[in-house]
Amino acid sequence: MLRAAVQAGTEVGKRAKAVMDAGELVSDAIVNAIVAERIDQPDCAKGFILDGYPRTLVQADAVEQMLSDRSQGLDAVIELVVDDKALVGRIVKRANEAQAAGQPVRKDDNPTVFEERLREYYKKTAPLIGYYYAKGTLRSVDGMADIDAVTGQIEAVLRDATRGI
């Protein structure tokens, strides 16, 4: 949504672009405005999936208010339960495979960078688990299963959520 807003040249997209061009992180206020702008589009009228948002408690409160203002709510919040050490191992493996194939290694395929992202996750995003658990919308999926199993679990959560289970 962020890239799309920037590319579309919307007012909030222009604000985001200025922040990104300065090498800074886009604020919760700007991200929230982009989400609000996007969920007002006609293709979201029957529902939508937010991937990677909200990431903070401030954003969670904002999306709750946005949806309340529209007489809507979240049907489910999906938590992918993973093993941190296994994820670091996957990154090392992916980087090694890319190097062995003579391909460039992604900038974020670095255990140190990933571990810093994990620390940020635990500081800012992990509190959302309790937040949504308390609201009764949290659903956990085994993110360490194979892709087909994870997909099946997510589809089941979405089916149940849209049926009101």
Q: Does 24 show up as a binding residue in the annotation?
A: yes
Give me the DSSP letters along the chain. Answer: -HHHHHHHT-HHHHHHHHHHHTTPPPPHHHHHHHHHHHHTSGGGTT----SS---SHHHHHHHHHHHHHTT---S-EEEEE--HHHHHHHHHHHHHHHHHTTPPPPTT--HHHHHHHHHHIIIIITHHHHHHHHHT-EEEEETTS-HHHHHHHHHHHHHHHHTT-
- Is pLDDT above 70 for 164? no
Domains and CATH numbers, the chain: 1-68 (no CATH), 74-164 (3.40.50.300)
Q: Does 25 show up as a binding residue in the annotation?
A: yes
pLDDT of residue 1: 86
Averaged pLDDT score across all residues of the chain: 92
Residue pair 161/75 in contact by the 8 Å Cβ criterion? yes
Q: What is the pLDDT of residues 50-105, one digit of tens each?
A: 998 999 999 999 999 999 999 999 999 999 999 999 999 999 999 999 999 999 98
pLDDT mean over 20-31: 84
Q: Does 139 show up as a binding residue in the annotation?
A: no
Q: Does 45 show up as a binding residue in the annotation?
A: no
- pLDDT greater at residue 27 or residue 156: 156
pLDDT mean over 113-119: 88
Q: Does 145 show up as a binding residue in the annotation?
A: yes
pLDDT mean over 105-116: 85
Q: Give me the percent of the chain exceeding a pLDDT of 70.
A: 99
What is the reported pTM? 0.82
